[in-house]
């Protein structure tokens, strides 16, 4: 397929995944305050940590962290590169450049969501019934996802969309894991605080992971158990390991089979990442420092993304070989 | 009409056309025209309340589908919905057949004209068209002389703008032979009409327009260069300037419906005089390009070295015959407003036939005696700049202010070649839903002619409608809307 179009497929789904994840995180964080006695800063700091845009927030809204301001920043602020509205804007812009590739229903679902979000209706629901507002954003994204599985040709554009979703999902899981880890167990104090379990519960909830966690681990809700689950589980759809396993499948399809020469470096890097995820031991990782492990994994993911771009999107001018 | 029926108002109750204008659905006595009678009665039976409710559904459908065009103000494109009016225009089978014959004749002559001026130039040698007139045309590209396009076809897709004068006769107002747009609205309008008014549609025996994209692809691929080495040949693409172009929606729509890929110039490269597209697995050969980029921006090697939009080397490949371009480069020499007055002469010269379709009498300001007539009668004429489209650069004499008249007098004197003048033609009207009322609004009509190894005319076309009372301006960029055009099937062809 056309390289530029493949790139837009990839980014469309990355941005849409990011939109949905922002809605999930903000929706769940609302409710953490019902279970916990936390002040605004304690409650909303982790959300800024996940976004990676705390410095921008501080420069725009000041040092003091107020819940309403964080939500405004993360939902509506177009100046914030990872705000919900900006992510959806990017998703729609990418979709607009490949309207002939995505199905009509996908475009309509995305366009309706965008029109609603940016209308008075969207803002009104946000003011009046915030939980429902985020629910509406989530279901809008989910409708799009459902349609893409049921209306797209099972072909190259589909593959790049899947890869985009999976990369973004793995990235988000790691960000959330890191932020929750920071907000709970500090290296100096390994004994759990009473707020820790509710925080882990909230983290899992925003990843739709509470029940899968219970089924897969039967463990108690403590940091190491959740970390192991979110990183290494091979069946939970938002675990990094699972995301990379699926990504490998779609990268192979996009390459035109396992033995194809196209995208060989991408495939090799992915294999390396998978080996690391398959063989890591959570106790040892925590001993060395979970934040360090996450930083390395995320750097690895970034390199993987770059390599994918070089191999599939930045096409050289070499003529095809005869035959 | 029965008493039970009159209790509920009819949609068209109290409708009156404009005096002097031909109405598409009703005759001068307010009776439905014979060809429109069935449609009018079906619409009446629905009742105005139901009709308006359905109109709101159609508005939502257009919005959600993102059927938009872009307008430019302060350098930023804004997406707008093309306003849609749900009352169809109806053309009877007989009138359509005559019109289609006239269009085919006109296009055949225009195509022969292009082959002539980029070839032997017989028409100049016979002095039917002054050489100076051709050479002054911005659309004439002498670099294209001697390149014979595959099958001799220059105008693969034409959009001919027609109006109907007071007598109801179709008259050609303008030929669009470069990259005419609007067909996507024809198809979208039809899709919405079918979904919103299915019961009316089912009974009206309307000819389908849906085959357009496949017919276009077949026509273009019938002219593809042979490439036995490539299993995927011919590979056809639609070339767009990108998402900021006002017709981008249409480019996507056509690529999707034709089942081909939509590319931007940056996706294409020329190597060894062949065109390739950059894919995720390397370069792949392209054989047919339905390009929606203007001539000036198509190849910086030949036309605009400063352009970042084009595909360097594309003209070399075209000259080498390895790629089919639709439409051909240089067609602007035939749809120039200053060349328009000569089309009837072309039909007689190349085909030895009498023209079937009328066209508007035109004064060419480049001719001194015609220019002085125009200047003396500015108040009763319509003056058009030959290089502008979309209703821009136009003077409507009867409605112009004193300042506008003075401004145009100055402009015409300074650059007579740049202007033509025509009498103001009464545009026909069609009933249009304005708020809660049905009112007459002026319309024009653009049918589409597709030419490959043979010519095909889609039975339908774009009816654009002025939405303001009394207005003659139907352009979407200036607040016009559109409606579906129903060409009826039937025996009286």
pLDDT tens digit string along B403-424? 999 999 999 999 898 899 999 8
Residues in chain A with pLDDT values less than 50: 188, 322-323
Taking contacts as CB-CB distances below 8 angstroms, the residues of chain A near B282 are 262, 315-316, 318, 320
**CB contacts < 8 A (A, B):** 84
Cβ-based interface (< 8 Å): residues of B facing A: 63-66, 229, 238, 242-243, 248-249, 251-253, 255-256, 261-264, 266-267, 269, 271-272, 276-285
> How far off is chain A from B146, nearest CA to CA, in Å?
29
> How far off is chain B from A103, nearest CA to CA, in Å?
9
Look at B267 and A96 and tell me if their CB atoms are within 8 Å: no
Question: In angstroms, rounded to a whole number, what is the distance separating the alpha carbons of residues B486 and B17?
Answer: 20
Among B238, B255, B278, beta carbon nearest to A3: B278
Residues in chain B with pLDDT values less than 50: 1-7, 73-76, 492-493
Identify the closest residue of chain B to A97 by CA–CA distance: B243
Task: Report the pLDDT value the prediction gives residue A322, as an integer from 0 to 100.
Answer: 44
Among B64, B242, B272, beta carbon nearest to A108: B64
Task: Report the pLDDT value the prediction gives residue A251, as an integer from 0 to 100.
Answer: 96
Look at A254 and B229 and tell me if their CB atoms are within 8 Å: no
Candidates A1, A7, A100, partner chain B, best to mutate (most B CBs within 10 A): A100
What's this model's pTM, rounded to 2 decimal places?
0.85
Q: Give the ranges where A184-289 is alpha helix by DSSP (H).
A: 196-206, 210-217, 223-232, 240-255, 264-279, 282-288
Look at B278 and A4 and tell me if their CB atoms are within 8 Å: yes
What backbone torsions phi and psi does residue B179 show, to the nearest 5 degrees?
Answer: -130, 70
Task: Report the pLDDT value the prediction gives residue B472, as an integer from 0 to 100.
Answer: 79
Among A100, A111, A319, beta carbon nearest to B262: A100
- CA distances to A103, B255, B332 from B219, rounded to whole Å, are 25, 15, 21
Identify the closest residue of chain A to B67 by CA–CA distance: A108
Look at A2 and B261 and tell me if their CB atoms are within 8 Å: yes
What backbone torsions phi and psi does residue B194 show, to the nearest 5 degrees?
Answer: -65, -35
> How far off is chain B from A222, nearest CA to CA, in Å?
44
ipTM score here?
A: 0.81
Task: Report the pLDDT value the prediction gives residue B492, as an integer from 0 to 100.
Answer: 47
Taking contacts as CB-CB distances below 8 angstroms, the residues of chain B near A320 are 276, 282-285
Query: Are β-strands B363-364 and B419-423 bridged in parallel, bridged antiparallel, or unpaired?
Result: antiparallel
Look at A2 and B243 and tell me if their CB atoms are within 8 Å: no
Tokens 């519960």 label which residue? A201
Taking contacts as CB-CB distances below 8 angstroms, the residues of chain B near A316 are 282
Instruction: Tell me which residue of B359, B389, B302, B328 sits closest to B169, measured CA to CA.
Output: B359
Contact A162, A13 (CB under 8 A): yes
Look at A319 and B276 and tell me if their CB atoms are within 8 Å: yes
Question: In angstroms, rounded to a whole number, what is the distance separating the alpha carbons of residues A197 and B112?
Answer: 82
- CA distances to A155, A158, B172, B279 from A6, rounded to whole Å, are 11, 9, 44, 9
Contact A222, A196 (CB under 8 A): yes
Among A112, A262, A319, beta carbon nearest to B281: A262
Task: Report the pLDDT value the prediction gives residue A319, as an integer from 0 to 100.
Answer: 61
Task: Report the pLDDT value the prediction gives residue B390, as an integer from 0 to 100.
Answer: 56
Question: In angstroms, rounded to a whole number, what is the distance separating the alpha carbons of residues A78 and A87?
Answer: 9
Look at B278 and A99 and tell me if their CB atoms are within 8 Å: no
Among A3, A97, A317, beta carbon nearest to B279: A3
Q: Is B259 left (phi over 0), alpha (psi -120 to 50) or beta?
A: left
- CA distances to A263, B110, B264, B286, B294 from B267, rounded to whole Å, are 19, 33, 5, 11, 17
Look at B280 and A317 and tell me if their CB atoms are within 8 Å: no
Identify the closest residue of chain A to B256 by CA–CA distance: A100
Question: In angstroms, rounded to a whole number, what is the distance separating the alpha carbons of residues A163 and A313?
Answer: 13
> How far off is chain B from A151, nearest CA to CA, in Å?
14
Instruction: Tell me which residue of A182, A209, A204 sits closest to A193, measured CA to CA.
Output: A182
Tokens 């400063």 label which residue? B306
Beta bridge partners of B176: B159
């Amino acid at each position: 397929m056309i390289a530029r179009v493949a790139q837009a497929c990839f980014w469309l789904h990355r941005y849409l995944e990011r939109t949905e994840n922002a809605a999930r995180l903000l929706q769940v964080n609302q409710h953490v305050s019902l279970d916990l006695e936390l002040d605004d800063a304690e409650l909303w700091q982790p959300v800024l940590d996940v976004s990676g845009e705390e410095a921008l927030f501080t420069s725009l809204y000041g040092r003091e962290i107020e819940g309403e301001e964080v939500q405004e920043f993360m939902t509506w602020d177009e100046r914030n590169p990872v705000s919900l509205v900006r992510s959806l804007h990017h998703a729609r812009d990418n979709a607009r450049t490949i309207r002939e590739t995505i199905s009509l229903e996908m475009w309509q679902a995305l366009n309706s969501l965008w029109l609603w979000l940016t209308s008075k209706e969207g803002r009104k629901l946000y003011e009046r019934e915030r939980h429902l507002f985020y629910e509406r954003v989530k279901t809008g994204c989910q409708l799009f996802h459902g349609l893409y599985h049921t209306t797209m040709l099972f072909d190259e554009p589909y593959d790049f969309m899947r890869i985009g979703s999976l990369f973004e999902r793995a990235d988000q899981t790691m960000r959330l894991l890191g932020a929750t880890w920071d907000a709970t167990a500090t290296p100096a104090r390994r004994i759990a605080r009473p707020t820790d379990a509710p925080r882990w519960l909230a983290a899992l909830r925003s990843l739709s992971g509470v029940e899968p966690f219970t089924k897969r681990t039967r463990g108690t809700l403590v940091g190491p158990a959740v970390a192991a689950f979110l990183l290494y589980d091979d069946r939970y759809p938002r675990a990094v390991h699972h995301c990379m396993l699926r990504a490998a499948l779609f990268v192979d399809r996009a390459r035109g089979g396992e033995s194809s020469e196209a995208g060989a470096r991408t495939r090799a890097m992915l294999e390396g990442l998978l080996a690391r995820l398959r063989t890591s031991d959570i106790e040892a990782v925590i001993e060395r420092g979970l934040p360090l492990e996450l930083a390395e994994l995320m750097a690895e993911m970034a390199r993987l993304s770059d390599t994918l771009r070089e191999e599939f999107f930045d096409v050289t001018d070499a003529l095809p070989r005869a035959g | 009409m029965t008493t039970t029926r009159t209790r509920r108002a009819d949609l068209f109750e109290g409708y009156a056309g404009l005096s002097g204008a031909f109405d598409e659905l009703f005759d001068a006595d307010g009776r439905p025209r014979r060809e429109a009678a069935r449609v009018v009665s079906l619409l009446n039976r629905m009742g105005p309340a139901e009709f308006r409710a359905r109109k709101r559904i159609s508005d939502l459908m257009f919005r959600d589908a993102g059927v938009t065009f872009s307008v430019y103000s302060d350098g930023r494109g804004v997406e707008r919905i093309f306003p849609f009016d749900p009352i169809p225009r109806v053309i009877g089978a007989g009138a359509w057949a005559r019109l289609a014959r006239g269009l085919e004749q006109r296009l055949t002559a225009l195509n022969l004209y292009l082959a002539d001026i980029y070839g032997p130039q017989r028409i100049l040698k016979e002095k039917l068209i002054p050489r100076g007139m051709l050479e002054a045309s911005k659309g004439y590209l002498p670099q294209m002389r001697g390149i014979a396009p595959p099958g001799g076809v220059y105008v693969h897709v034409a959009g001919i703008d027609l109006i109907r004068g007071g007598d109801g006769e179709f008259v050609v107002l303008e030929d669009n032979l470069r990259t005419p747009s609007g067909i996507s609205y024809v198809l979208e309008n039809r899709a919405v009409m079918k979904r919103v008014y299915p019961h009316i549609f089912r009974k009206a025996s309307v000819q389908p327009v849906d085959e357009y994209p496949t017919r276009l692809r077949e026509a273009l691929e019938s002219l593809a260069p042979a490439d036995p080495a490539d299993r995927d040949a011919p590979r056809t693409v639609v070339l767009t300037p990108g998402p900021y172009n006002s017709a981008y929606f249409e480019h996507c729509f056509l690529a999707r419906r034709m089942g081909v890929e939509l590319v931007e110039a940056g996706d294409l490269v020329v190597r060894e005089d062949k065109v390739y597209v950059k894919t995720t697995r390397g370069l792949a050969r392209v054989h047919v390009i339905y390009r929606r980029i203007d001539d000036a921006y198509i190849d910086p090697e030949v036309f605009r070295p400063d352009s970042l939009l084009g595909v360097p080397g594309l003209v070399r490949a075209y000259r080498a015959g390895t790629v089919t371009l639709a439409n051909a480069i240089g067609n602007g020499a035939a749809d120039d407003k200053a060349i328009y007055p000569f089309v009837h002469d072309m039909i007689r010269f190349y085909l030895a036939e009498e023209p079937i379709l009328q066209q508007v009498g035109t004064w060419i300001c480049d001719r001194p005696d015609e220019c002085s007539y125009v200047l003396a009668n500015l108040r009763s004429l319509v003056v058009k700049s030959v290089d502008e489209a979309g209703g821009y650069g136009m003077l409507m004499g009867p409605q112009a202010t004193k300042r506008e008249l003075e401004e145009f007098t100055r402009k015409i004197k300074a650059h007579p070649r740049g202007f033509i003048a025509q009498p103001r033609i009464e545009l026909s009207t069609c009933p249009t839903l304005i708020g809660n009322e049905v009112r007459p609004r002026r319309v024009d009509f653009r049918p589409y002619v597709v030419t490959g190894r043979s010519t095909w005319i889609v039975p339908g076309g774009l009816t654009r409608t002025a939405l303001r009372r009394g207005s003659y301006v139907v352009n979407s960029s200036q607040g016009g809307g559109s409606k579906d055009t129903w060409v009826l099937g039937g025996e009286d062809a």
